[in-house]
Amino acid sequence: MPAGGTPFISKKQAEFARREQEILNAALSLFEGPHWEQVTVEQISRKAEIGKGTVYKHFASKEEIYAYITLAFTDKLLENFETATSSEDVLVCLKNIIRIAFDMFLANPAQARVSFYCKREDYRNRLPQELREQFEKLDSRFENFIGSILTSGIEQGIIPEKPVEHLMMGLEATFDGAISMIWNTDVSHQHTIDLDTYVTIISEYMLAGLVGLKQSSD
């Protein structure tokens, strides 16, 4: 291993990684369209200007391509979250996280749509064990990160005491619903407001929902 602890990567390994990324980039460019699920491996190979067999040397199926796209996108999302939580104010942290999530999903519609698809249990059950484990680790990392912020809010009395998993379900459902509405309708036409204002309204609603939750009666 070279000085500094960085693993040595051979020229062949670097070329393999470069080709793999080219395949993912080609797939993403095709997934920008409304019928992205109908894109075939043949189309991806043509876009990447390689043979179909070469694609299968990197990915056993189109669904593995989905997995790699989603894992990279979610990992980047979490990295951005972690840089936005320096404030000790729980609500400021949550507001930053929600805004980052909206910005990333709206700026990267292909990755976002694929990541929505990859939430499906039937899809994950079809994946090889190694990829399922990667999803489980990333899910756990995500839940622990958001959960720790929500727990802090509960301990400080900012958020009413509720099971953290229930709070996360509410946030996720509201966010997913808002993103789906943006994708499927013309928000500015339907509500006579611009997209940025719509995102701000939904973000405030999500925070208000957390803070305004009532304690369950015994």
Using only C-alpha atoms, the chain has a radius of gyration, in whole angstroms, of: 20
Extended strands (E) in the chain: none
- Helices and strands (DSSP H and E) totals, the chain: 11, 0
Task: Tell me which CATH homologous superfamily contains domain 10-59.
Answer: Homeodomain-like (1.10.10.60)
| pLDDT level of residue 19 (50, 70, 90 thresholds) | very high
Distance of CA 141 to the CA centre of its chain: 12
Look at the pTM and tell me if it is higher than 0.95: no
What does pLDDT average to over the chain? 89
**Letter for the amino acid at 155?**
E
Same fold: 10-59 with 62-211:
no
Mean pLDDT for the stretch of residues 201-215:
88
Percent share of the chain, pLDDT over 90:
77
Q: Does the pLDDT at position 214 exceed 70?
A: no
Question: May I ask the CATH architecture of the domain 62-211?
Answer: Orthogonal Bundle (1.10)
Mean pLDDT for the stretch of residues 76-100:
90
Q: Does the pLDDT at position 163 exceed 50?
A: yes
Q: For the chain, give every domain's residue range.
A: 10-59, 62-211
| pLDDT level of residue 3 (50, 70, 90 thresholds) | very low
Of the chain, the end-to-end C-alpha distance in Å amounts to: 60
Give the integer Cα–Cα distance in Å for 64 and 59. Answer: 6
More confident residue, 87 or 203: 203
Closest listed residue to residue 37, CA positions, set 122, 116, 114 = 114
Which of these ranges, 1-5, 66-70, 113-117, 139-143, has the smallest mean pLDDT?
1-5
